[in-house]
Structure 1
């Protein structure tokens, strides 16, 4: 095991947060999820990210408090979404250990975390792989993160602490994207080496027709675009709800611009869908007395703006041709590129793994795919997909409390952010681990701080920037 410099810094910050309290620790945990290309320490081939390391400090600070500990236990009760996620994790742990051994050789796989396929172009017979362990650890950490988020956000002050962390994550994502572009342009990429130390392939210096692919603090452009889709859904909804509109509106616009400039097909395909989701949200909120003016503005202005943009592109053939060429380069031509063909082969093999194992999967963390849905089916099969589907439906679609309140607006924003992340995962994710950012959002979407509102009041929804 080796401890990295960023791991020592994480350890120091964690100790300080223990002294400052669990709410500060919770805010820091959310922000720590930004470091997707960093390893706090390395155990064999396993990279433990700063966010996962920091989760231990949050659990220690939270579970030592009786009320929050009980809230964490309630989050895993059969009537709550956490129960179904716990079922998925438990089933995944069992499959990770048993299925690659019981079904050894039953199908040909592309192992997750292995370079064998890239080196030879051939699949290998099903057998246990090192990522069975690492993915089990990550999924266990996600379950702990979800339960801790629900517990902390069960009070108004904790709810706000998580929200502050989400805003810090959103701002940090923009800062790291600009640093990525700036250091690449000046040849000073080594300045970001402290957070690009994970022991797996990093695509941080890739160009497409002279344009830098934006990766920010993540491993590749698609991972950056996926997280930014979630941020667009979060901050765009917060702007529609009139929560700190100057800040949230600016973050949403800059995030949209970065998605367009990222050269990632995930961002270019996902951004219009997230914008449609935001428009649907605006339709539902327009005319609301409290904080509905921005939603009404969006409903009224979006169609004329779309028509004006279409007319400009129609009148100016040069600009239209540039945009078409860019879309062809980043999206349409991607399917026939070497990367696109390789990812398609991953999905084809993953689907065959699902069929060859009669729908039960080959075990958590065994194979890679290029879509969350196929990764889910191939690794944990139909039972795991059902557990995840019930979890997602109860966490993101079930009505909770008042529909016109500050907590309800934040839950709506978190839900839209989750949809953005799920969209990105469906397009490119090789694994079923959706990361701490997703499960923090799912946790706050499931939280009910209104139960404690008498002890800790919320500020009005339209809080000034």
Structure 2
């Protein structure tokens, strides 16, 4: 086990916050750590060079801060565990199946492994696309289980912190700062390509991930601190939706508005399919929501969005007039990264990876072959293939309980900042699931999903907390008794008023 310089910095900060910091500050460390998607805090040579990312490493200090004797968080942790029970069922079942499934179904199915090549050489391109090997237990079953348990711990942590108003405010403000940093670093990775800036950013891409080429016909694709453009866009779209929803609902608008704008601009310039699909899906859902639910889009916010759209149209038109060749090349780049991608070798291979999950589900009769057993390209089919009926059902119920589709606060702003923040988390988590169902290689929903769903369940509980009534009590007019009832009342003694006490 080797500690990197990023891990060493986290140790110093984490121990300082453990000794003298608040639980909100420790949670902020976890949120900032999510920014380093291409980094490693710890390298594990014994597990095939696998690494522990900074976000997962920050969870160690977060867990210590939550569970240390005398912290007073035991009740809150128990409440958070009950609120996230369906996510816990999904993860604990998957963790057990990660060790049982590959051994139970060994040799009965062939799969593409999570990591490593099946053969050193391939006789044809078709052999490369459809390369598989017999199912066996591997180190990836172990590492995926660790990631899954980290996801559960993250959800519980987010729930505990966001139960407090100070935690909710710290959560929103920290993610606004992280969002701005993510967008700015993305632009720096493009503008500083081949310079000292690129060298500095490369120091943070020390994880055991394939560092892909980010250029195409002279265009530099935006990757920031991530190993590839799609990962950069995936993280960006999740928090862009969250921050935009917060701005739409007037939650810390001075921070969430600029952060959402910076992220949206970075995503539009990223040339990543994930970014364009995510923005398109969210824009479509927002328009549908505005049509079906009056007040879902406040008038002033709608005018601002319209103004930004007009300004972008004018800017694009000016560029088309001034640099028509640049526009043609950019259009070709976007077409190559979107429309042509489904018909490319990569698109065909990803379709095969996604199909493996359905095949594993059928072969195992709905049991699953265990997380980490194969590489997928869809969260939905990965869940089916890895965790079967139990996992798919648990995850579905968790999503419904988190999103709360029957509540008006899901679709329209309210006067309660907690409800508005929870609804913003719910929409961002929904977009995250949609995007990951098109590109995720594993059944682990990830740290972003855990933070968003854990916070959503804390801020919008299943049974709303009713505030005590402080208004005047309406007194009932006196009843007129008949002579017979008056005589019976006198014989039975005094009666007590049924009116509520003040």
Distance in 1 (CA, whole Å) between partners of 2:356 and 2:417 is 46
What is residue 88 of structure 1 aligned with on the other side? 90
> Which entry has the higher C-alpha Rg, 1 or 2?
2
1:305 shift after superposition: 5.0
Distance in 2 (CA, whole Å) between partners of 1:91 and 1:38 is 29
Q: Which has the bigger relative contact order, CA under 8 A and spacing at least 6? A: 1
Distance in 1 (CA, whole Å) between partners of 2:442 and 2:200 is 30
> Which of 187, 211, 233 is 1:178 aligned to?
187
> Which of 75, 84, 92 is 2:80 aligned to?
75
Structure 2 residue 245 is the aligned partner of structure 1 residue 237? yes
| Contact 2:173 2:255 (C-alpha < 8 Å) held by counterparts | no
Structure 2 residue 444 is the aligned partner of structure 1 residue 433? yes
Structure 2 residue 359 is the aligned partner of structure 1 residue 349? no
The answer to which of 253-262 and 28-37 deviates more is 253-262
> Which of 416, 432, 446 is 1:421 aligned to?
432
Structure 1 residues 308 and 383, CA gap change in structure 2 (3 angstroms): same
> Which of 335, 339, 342 is 2:346 aligned to?
339
User: How many residues matched?
Assistant: 445
1:359 shift after superposition: 2.2
Structure 1 residues 239 and 280, CA gap change in structure 2 (3 angstroms): farther
TM-score, normalization by structure 2: 0.80
| Contact 2:40 2:53 (C-alpha < 8 Å) held by counterparts | yes
1:73 shift after superposition: 0.9
1:26 shift after superposition: 0.8
What is residue 262 of structure 2 aligned with on the other side? 254
| Contact 1:282 1:298 (C-alpha < 8 Å) held by counterparts | no
What is residue 22 of structure 1 aligned with on the other side? 23
1:352 shift after superposition: 2.1
Unmatched tracts of structure 1, length 5 or more:
455-465
What is residue 62 of structure 2 aligned with on the other side? 58
What is residue 462 of structure 1 aligned with on the other side? none
1:347 shift after superposition: 1.9
The answer to which of 208-217 and 100-109 deviates more is 208-217
Unmatched tracts of structure 2, length 5 or more:
123-127, 468-502
1:322 shift after superposition: 6.1
Distance in 2 (CA, whole Å) between partners of 1:398 and 1:446 is 13
> Which of 186, 199, 202 is 1:193 aligned to?
202
Distance in 2 (CA, whole Å) between partners of 1:130 and 1:334 is 31
Secondary structure of residue in 1 paired with 2:193:
helix
Distance in 2 (CA, whole Å) between partners of 1:8 and 1:283 is 51
> Which of 134, 142, 148 is 1:139 aligned to?
148
> Which of 211, 215, 224 is 1:202 aligned to?
211
Structure 2 residue 40 is the aligned partner of structure 1 residue 39? yes
User: Cα deviation per residue 1:438-459 (whole Å; 9 max; x = unaligned)?
Assistant: 21111111114899999xxxxx
1:284 shift after superposition: 7.2
Distance in 2 (CA, whole Å) between partners of 1:8 and 1:307 is 43
| Contact 2:216 2:333 (C-alpha < 8 Å) held by counterparts | no
CA RMSD, aligned part only? 3.1
